[in-house]
Amino acid sequence: MCYRLRVIGFLFCALVLVGCGAKKRAISDQSSVVSEPTWHTCLIQGASATVSTNEDRLSASVTMQTVRDSMLVISVMPLLGMEMMRLEATPTELIAIDKIHGRYAKATYADLNRQLTPSLNFDILQQICAAELPTGSERARLLYSFGNETIELVIDYPPRRLDVPVRVKNQPLKNYTEVDISRWLK
């Protein structure tokens, strides 16, 4: 049971970051196309995220901090605002930190995409963490396959705050044990 919860916790972090591959939306008038306003940082605190699998369901409060095109930090806090898991993502890699069990795992997007459908990349993660999915900025409902398991992710977004200070500094990993990502993904 404990192993299953750890796997679901890791999937929860990974799936909070996985989206449906939407492209930038544009608003057009009769004569020209105007891109949506850009932002440098985005902070979403207190989002409600639920991951449902064939057998389990996990709900937690999530804080998502984004520096556009650079780094994302997702904090999963199921109990009284205590950070249980943290996911740090850059355009090249993901680091999942299990604070309860004192361990972490690193992965590339290719590592996750071997078992996760639809595929994952930094642009999709950024859309999810900034509430910029085509489904709107209030709620996202996403379906995935991980091996033989179907996973549903539902995120209810509170209002986002743009161009505010965010703390996305990498978590020091010296107090954590590195675990091979393949052990978490089995």
pLDDT given at position 179: 92
For residue range 18-30, what is the model confidence (pLDDT) as tens digits?
A: 433 333 333 333 3
Length of the chain measured in residues: 186
For 68, counting Cβ atoms within 10 Å of its Cβ (0-12 exposed, 13-18 middle, 19+ buried), the class is middle
Task: Indicate the pTM of the whole model.
Answer: 0.77
For 107, counting Cβ atoms within 10 Å of its Cβ (0-12 exposed, 13-18 middle, 19+ buried), the class is buried
The residue among 26 and 183 whose pLDDT is bigger is: 183
Tokens of 152: 């549903």
- Where does the pLDDT of residue 36 fall: very low under 50, low under 70, confident under 90, or very high at 90 and above? low
65 close to 72: Cβ distance less than 8 angstroms: yes
Tell me which range, 5-14, 89-98, 126-135, is most confidently predicted by mean pLDDT.
89-98
- 29: CB partners within 8 A, 6+ apart: none
Domains and CATH numbers, the chain: 2-20+39-163 (2.50.20)
